[in-house]
Amino acid sequence: MTNRLADRQPTHPGEVLREDVVPALALSKTEIAARLGVSRVAFYDLLNEKTGVSARMAVRLGKFLGNGPRIWLNMQTAYDLWHAERTVDTSQIPTVPPGRAA
């Protein structure tokens, strides 16, 4: 479990890549995109937080960086869920008690 405050927005994985990972690699963004097997535009969109990390991109990043896909997919899921919990109106959705069919 994380100790992060519930009100603090999780970091987008694109920001982690842009601010921490890419500078440490000493490769151009175009070269990284090529090594990942994705277009430069797709990689730039991720870095600029215009898109998220898909399962396919997580597998690519995990292999390239040697840390596995789960870290990237979990980071994206935390980011997406945090935003969804604040934007999706569930006030009209009933909660079904456990063990009871609708």
Residue 57, pLDDT > 60, answer yes
Residue 81, pLDDT > 70, answer yes
The distance between the two most distant Cα atoms of the chain, rounded to a whole number of Å, is 57
Supply the pLDDT for residue 77: 98
Supply the pLDDT for residue 45: 98
pLDDT, tens digit (0-9, with 9 covering 90-100), for 4-55: 567 899 999 999 999 999 999 999 999 999 999 999 999 999 999 999 999 9
Give the chain's domains with CATH numbers. 13-69 (1.10.260.40)
